[in-house]
Structure 1
Amino acid sequence: MKLLNNLLLKRTSTYLVGIAGCVFFFERGFDMITDTVFESHNKGKLWNDIKQKYEQ
């Protein structure tokens, strides 16, 4: 706990950089998960699934 306090929590600037990094990676992961759920739920209805019918 002391190491965490000395490395990240001692100054506000490093604390905010740590929070920004965590938020960035959380957003990327959450976006990937929600895209996967959306695509699996709508399989067969999306453009990538039906475009061969309409392209010549």
Structure 2
Amino acid sequence: MALTKTVYNLLFRRTSTFAVTIMVGAILFERVFDQGGDAIFEQMNRGKLWTHIQHNYEKEGEE
């Protein structure tokens, strides 16, 4: 119960801190979701993406 009261007093009591908490939470969620989706995509397509097969098609010394 003390943790709930502390969180309420720190983050949700005032409208301004509540709005900032929601914005920061949304940004963090978006970053984690995007990074997780990219990691899953890379894992499922390992060996098929250009970054994985690039060395097969580019000659050494060229960029």
TM-score, structure 1 as length reference: 0.81
Q: Distance in 2 between matches of 1:25 and 1:8?
A: 16
Counterpart mapping for 1:19-34 below 5 A? 19-34=22-37
User: Greater share of helix residues, 1 or 2?
Assistant: 1
Q: Show structure 1 runs of 5+ residues with no match.
A: none
1:41 to 36, 41, 44: 44
When Rg is computed on C-alpha atoms for both structures, the one with the higher figure is 2
CA RMSD for the aligned pairs? 1.3
- Following superposition, the deviation at residue 17 of structure 1 comes to 0.3
TM-score, structure 2 as length reference: 0.74
1:17 to 6, 17, 20: 20
Q: Percent identity?
A: 46
Runs of 4+ in 1 over 4 A off after TM superposition: none
Q: Distance in 1 between matches of 2:8 and 2:28?
A: 22
Deviation track 1:1-56 (CA, whole Å, cap 9, x = no partner) reads 33333222222111010011111111111111111110011111101111111111
